Amino acid sequence: MPNEKSSVLQDSGFDYSDITPIPLKTIDPNDLKTPALCDILYSDDYRELISLLRPLMKANEHSQRALYLTDMIIERIAGHYTVWSYRYNILETLSSKDKSNGSSELTNELAWCEEVALQNPKNYQIWHYRGLIIDLLLDRYPDQFDIEGEYKILKHMLNEDNKNYHVWSYRRLFVEKFDLFDKKEELQFVRDKINEDMRNNSAWNHLFFLKFGRYKLKLQKTVDDSVVSDEISFAKELISKAPTNPSSWNYLNGIYKILKKNIIELKSFVTQFTNLVYEDSVSVYAFELLAEIHVLEKDLEESKKVYELLAKTLDPVRVNYWEYKKAQLTVV
Amino acid sequence: MAPDTTDDDRDKKIAKLQFLIGLTNLQTSQQSKSKSKSKSKPKLDRFDSILEMLETSKPQIPQVEQETYPSRTINAQLQVEKNVIGIYENFLEKGSNNIPEIETLKHVQYVRFYLQNPLPVEMLGYDSLHTWTIYWLLNARCTLGGYDKISKVEKDAIIDKVFSFWMDETDAIGGFSGSDGEYQLPHIASSYAALLSLVIIIDDDNYKRIKKNLDVEKIHQWLLSLKQPDGSFFMHTNGETDVRAMYCALVIINLLGIKDEKLTENCIEWLVSCQNYEGGFGGDLMDEAHGGYAFCGLNALLLLIDTPKQLYDLIDVDSLISWMVKRQYGMEGGFSGRTNKLVDGCYSTWVGALSPLLEVVTGTEELINREKLQNYILCCCQDPGKFGGFKDKPTMRCDFYHTNYVSCGLSFCNSFHFIDEDIMKEDGLAFSFKAAKLDDDCPLGLVDPVFTVPIGAPLRFKKYMKRE
């Protein structure tokens, strides 16, 4: 163990001297006989932190000094799920209603989460953890929860990385939890995201969720006609701006699929793009949809021609797939 | 260690024959004889294939869109296209004798070095992924041709290590924690990775020891404690629920033979609802379609159903295929994980394994373009120097995760899969996948697309678990 002077915890303001450390086993880097199998040559400070964490966890100690220790470890390994889980248990105790500063423990924790999130944008645990803390806050001190604070951090995170999977997933849960499907700001945010980058598929997915989520989740029996026609127009407008963008095509197609609408009505729209010849690019999605429309029209010959065109000239990397689609036609 | 070698050889020969006459799917071969056509596609050599890729592929984003609507996506995509084209052109200039091959030797050296030696402190982040790091390296070693070369010393060390992660202090807890069982929580994905390492190394000599150490009933109880009424599983206490947790749990359940109604209740319903409007699967209901989750989602279903055709009753197979093939980019040849995202070598497994699975389900010869994926892997995911390992894309560094999943992807490029109907009836669909090489000279091992371990290993493990 490192001596007191070099302790990584010397400036912590907490006293850990009563704890009997449980040290991690030492590794001999010169042992050539046994395969090390990914044992890590830990640093002394990490060894010290874990050697204190283990007895504290064993004793189920839910204290400020334990909380501080988890902070130090997460700073070193953000993906340390055990420590996240232990930290949650600590907070659950520290924020109980009989504590004088229970609510500020939780609001401080949300602020701490933000710092960690900004430093670890790809982390799995943090957003789930944040959700758990918010649930605690809502359960114990509902008037202390500031929904605007959530918007702020989410906005910041999605500015940094506009396709961050975990953040978008958190945002979806957040919308569901507070029933924000129709909230103007939420819709404006996601439309702005799409407008600044039409190929941000995560934003398209979120828009789909806002507009059709309640229907898909069976919270609603139907989708308003006006919503459907607005979204179809929106998708068409953006396809017209960028006809090779798969995100807007998938959105349009997705609406038809989920509502079981007839794609034949898209024929005149689609043919605008199958007739459009760019020198350097082609709207594969328009051709794929056109082939499917021909199938519904029972015009298998036309459909076959489209698949052949895709396989031979327009989209040769997917030649196997187009051949497969063509082969399916004869089966039908 | 390669039990049943003669059987395997026979299977390979039969399979190859079937494949050559255009019948990759043994299961449907009887009914589909009339409709199958013999297609002999001339195989391009790699030089011509790269040349063809550059000549015929169009950039994803037309010039006019680049100019009118510049965006982050466009910038990032153009950058990758530029890098990759540069690399391909460079190889073409050097001529057909210098097109990269699979540099098995240096990759094996990389993997063996990291299995043998302790990791430097810079890799501290792996501390909560310990069972994963062992599995990634061990499986990569097998895929790179070392399945039968793992020594008894190594196997014993792996068994010791894996069981050092076991937590048996708490009654209700079983499973493997990320590392050093005395202080880390058991975790479904960590347990999955630990179990896969045991699946790889189990043999006549050590199975009794493995069996004795695995407290199957405790694992069963622990998984039940993580099960949610909607069908999903928590990854760990206070943890998240997602399609990964579901897939990993079902792999464990199937390997240990503890499938029961309580564990599988509502699983199918929950999984099916994770297929989103694009055709792929998200991590949770209505999340964005993603390669990793699509792999987990489809395989989780295959671990629950009895025959491949049942898939058609559950999900929209056609839209999954349509989404899957769109993950492959013409200029790069590699796969992206999501719509409008960049190619990344790891999707050679996450998306690459979907292709053989869906080829079996549909009875199709080939869905994705193996040749072009292989071009990306060989030219862009391995370093030109003497250091081994695989990576995401040319500008990145090699790591354990990519080394495993890119190797598996490369194996998928060089093989095709089919179902053994007898095994399917006897042991379940997920255990019945067999494979054969497209090219006998390929040095890579065959990989199971459901469990991502050497083909045949899951069934062998299951049988050992039943043996006295």
Domain count for chain A: 2
CATH of the domain at A129: 1.25.40.120
- Residues A1 and A141 placed together within one structural domain of the fold: yes
Active site residue B236: no
* CB < 8 Å from A in window 382-421 of B: none
Q: Which pLDDT does position B24 carry in this prediction?
A: 36
Active site residue B379: no
**pLDDT, averaged across chain B:** 89
- CB-CB under 8 Å, A162 with B72: yes
Q: How far apart are CA A109 and CA A144, in angstroms?
A: 13
Closest CA to B360 of B427, B289, B294, B436: B436
pLDDT of B2 over the 50 cut: no
Cβ contacts of A232 within 8 Å, gap of 6 or more: A252, A255
Name residue B447's beta-bridge partners.
B454
Burial B244-276 (b: 16+ CB within 10 A, else e): bbbbbbbbbbbbbebeeeebbeebbebbbbbbb
pLDDT of B3 over the 90 cut: no
Confidence band of B176 (pLDDT split at 50, 70, 90): confident
Question: Is residue A111 in some structural domain?
Answer: yes
Amino acid in position B345: G
Structural domains of chain B, with CATH? 46-466 (1.50.10.20)
pLDDT of B411 over the 90 cut: yes
- Which residue in B59, B69, B133 is closest to A242 by CB distance? B69
- Which residue in A53, A80, A197 is closest to B73 by CB distance? A197
Give, in order, the Cα–Cα distances in Å from A254 to each of A172, A235, A258, A261, B388.
18, 11, 6, 10, 43
Name residue B433's beta-bridge partners.
B419
A324 chain-B contacts, CB cut-off 8 A? 321, 362, 364, 367
Q: Which of B107, B141, B218, B402 is catalytic?
A: B402
Q: How far apart are CA A258 and CA B75, in angstroms?
A: 32
- CB-CB under 8 Å, A250 with B71: no
Final residue before a domain boundary, out of A145, A179, A214 = A145
Query: What phi and psi, each to the nearest 5 degrees, are found at residue B375?
Result: -55, -45
Question: Is residue A105 in some structural domain?
Answer: yes
A43 chain-B contacts, CB cut-off 8 A? 121, 124
- Which residue in B57, B64, B124 is closest to A42 by CB distance? B124
Q: What is the pLDDT of residues B70-88, one digit of tens each?
A: 999 999 999 999 999 999 9
Confidence band of B5 (pLDDT split at 50, 70, 90): very low
Q: Which pLDDT does position A279 carry in this prediction?
A: 67
The answer to whether B299 and B450 have CB atoms below 8 angstroms apart is yes
Q: Which pLDDT does position A2 carry in this prediction?
A: 46
Query: With an 8 Å Cβ cutoff, is B185 touching chain A?
Result: yes
pLDDT of B118 over the 80 cut: yes
Active site residue B420: no
Q: Which of B347, B376, B401, B464 is catalytic?
A: B347
Q: Provide the 3-class DSSP secondary structure of residue B2.
A: coil
Cβ contacts of B270 within 8 Å, gap of 6 or more: B230, B231, B232, B246
A197 chain-B contacts, CB cut-off 8 A? 71-73
Final residue before a domain boundary, out of A129, A145, A161 = A145
pLDDT of B27 over the 50 cut: no
Amino acid in position B277: Y
Angstroms from B411 CA to nearest CA on chain A: 19
Q: Which pLDDT does position B384 carry in this prediction?
A: 83
Ramachandran class of A12: left when φ > 0, alpha when ψ lies in -120 to 50, beta otherwise:
alpha
Final residue before a domain boundary, out of A145, A173, A205 = A145
- Mean pLDDT, each 10-residue run in order, chain A (332 residues): 67 95 85 88 94 94 98 95 96 94 96 94 90 97 94 95 96 96 96 98 98 95 97 98 97 97 97 80 93 96 96 94 94 54
- CB-CB under 8 Å, B183 with A281: no
Question: Is residue A182 in some structural domain?
Answer: no
- CB-CB under 8 Å, A80 with B71: no
- Which domain covers residue A272, as residue numbers? 262-332
The answer to whether B360 and B404 have CB atoms below 8 angstroms apart is no
Amino acid in position B90: N
pLDDT of B13 over the 90 cut: no
- Which residue in B71, B118, B362 is closest to A198 by CB distance? B71
Q: Which of A42, A73, A82, A92 to mutate to test the interface with B (most CBs of B within 10 A)?
A: A82
- CB-CB under 8 Å, A169 with B74: no
Q: Which pLDDT does position B51 carry in this prediction?
A: 92
- Residues A1 and A140 placed together within one structural domain of the fold: yes
Q: Which of B8, B156, B316, B399 is catalytic?
A: B399
A41 chain-B contacts, CB cut-off 8 A? 118-121
Active site residue B290: yes
Lowest mean pLDDT among A17-21, A121-125, B33-37, B257-261: B33-37
- CB-CB under 8 Å, A245 with B74: no
Q: Which pLDDT does position B46 carry in this prediction?
A: 87
A124 chain-B contacts, CB cut-off 8 A? 240
Question: Is residue A130 in some structural domain?
Answer: yes
